[in-house]
Amino acid sequence: MNTQKGIASDIIKERNNDAERNKDLVRRAVKEIWNDGNYNDLEEFITRDFTIHAADPNGEIRGIEGVKQFYTELRQAFPDIHFTIDSQIAESDKVVTQWTARGTHKGVFRGIQPTGRKFTMSSIDIDRFVDGKVVECWPSMDELGLLRQLGVVSANGENGKTF
């Protein structure tokens, strides 16, 4: 006969297993999608109604096609871009991933002509999972730092571009 303590222990183990599976999925996505560019495999990782939330609602990325378009444009602007996971925490239906991207600006990025400059940018993403796939992502990126490294904005913010 199961005791309440035993049932609670089983529930905790199942939640921990789900959290670990979700972390593994994010690690695979970083390798296979972000770094290797296997955009045809996106449906393994994200739901059809997936959303990357942005501070500006017009900057949100929606759906599988939106993600493909975003990463294609990113890879055209930074063909050598490489993402590294620095740390991860998972609980329940969320995974928090701290990552670093490095690359060289060799193509147009958000209307900015190639500068040839190298960059390093950090971010923390919070991904929410439903049925083993990511349904939403909330990134917190140092976009101002990226623009400074590309030489588009000076350290004191006076290069004429407003973002």
- What is the rounded CA–CA span in Å between residue 118 and residue 102? 7
**What one-letter code names the amino acid at 146?**
L
| CATH code, domain carrying 128 | 3.10.450.50
What mean pLDDT is predicted for residues 67-86? 96
Asked if residue 76 is part of any domain, the answer here is yes
Asked if residue 13 is part of any domain, the answer here is yes
Closest CA to 137 of 20, 59, 79: 59
- List, in order, residues 6 or more apart from 133 with CB less than 8 Å away: 25, 44, 45, 46, 47, 50
Asked if residue 157 is part of any domain, the answer here is no
Asked if residue 20 is part of any domain, the answer here is yes
Asked if residue 45 is part of any domain, the answer here is yes
- pLDDT tens track for 114-128: 999 999 999 999 999
Say if strands 82-91 and 61-62 run parallel, antiparallel, or are unpaired. unpaired
- pLDDT tens track for 19-54: 999 999 999 999 999 999 999 999 999 999 999 998
Total number of domains constituting the chain = 1
- What is the rounded CA–CA span in Å between residue 90 and residue 68? 26
Asked if residue 123 is part of any domain, the answer here is yes
**Among 13-22, 107-116, 120-129, 151-160, the least confident range:** 151-160
Host domain of residue 35:
4-149
**The pTM is what?**
0.83
Asked if residue 58 is part of any domain, the answer here is yes
Which segments of the chain does DSSP mark as H helices, in order? 4-29, 63-77, 143-149
Three-state secondary structure call for residue 101: strand
pLDDT greater than 60 at residue 160: no
Asked if residue 154 is part of any domain, the answer here is no
